[in-house]
């Protein structure tokens, strides 16, 4: 499994005054750096090290979101791409897909 198959995001952290990179499949990991490129490279190295450690210890790393199969079935049918996006958003928020969809459906239109 390649660490570059995971889902990475880089955002500015006003609190830290640097860019923070995260990995959706490893929500407890992050890397701060002064540039976007350095932040992304740092989180990719960190995830690669964690995956290597998991494999060396006989553990199974999480399957990247991009490599998971999505049925597209919730309580409503949605395209698999939407299901994947909702699953990613829910994981980043630390909640279930069901709860995330409920929150989205409860938002006022507009």
Structure tokens at 50: 């964690």
pTM above 0.85, yes or no: no
A 10 A CB-CB count for 92 gives 15
Q: Is residue 62 part of a domain?
A: no
CB atoms within 10 A of CB 26: 19
- 61 found inside a domain: no
**Cα–chain center distance at 94:** 10
Q: Are residues 7 and 48 in the same domain?
A: yes
Question: What whole-number percentage of the chain has pLDDT above 70?
Answer: 95
Residue 76 has pLDDT above 80, yes or no: no
47 & 78 share domain: no
Q: Which of 43, 25, 28, 11 is nearest to 87 (CA)?
A: 25
Q: Which domain holds residue 19?
A: 3-56
Does residue 11 belong to any structural domain of this protein? yes
Give how many domains the chain has, as a whole number: 2
């Amino acid at each position: 499994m390649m660490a570059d198959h995971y889902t990475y995001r880089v955002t500015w952290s006003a609190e830290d005054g640097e860019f923070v990179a995260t990995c959706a499949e490893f929500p407890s990991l992050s890397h701060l750096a002064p540039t976007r490129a350095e932040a992304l490279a740092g989180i990719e190295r960190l995830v690669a090290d964690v995956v290597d450690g998991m494999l060396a210890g006989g553990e199974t790393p999480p399957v990247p979101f991009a490599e998971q199969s999505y049925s597209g079935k919730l309580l409503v049918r949605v395209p698999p791409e939407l299901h994947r996006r909702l699953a990613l958003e829910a994981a980043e928020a630390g909640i279930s897909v069901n709860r995330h969809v409920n929150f989205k459906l409860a938002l006022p239109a507009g």
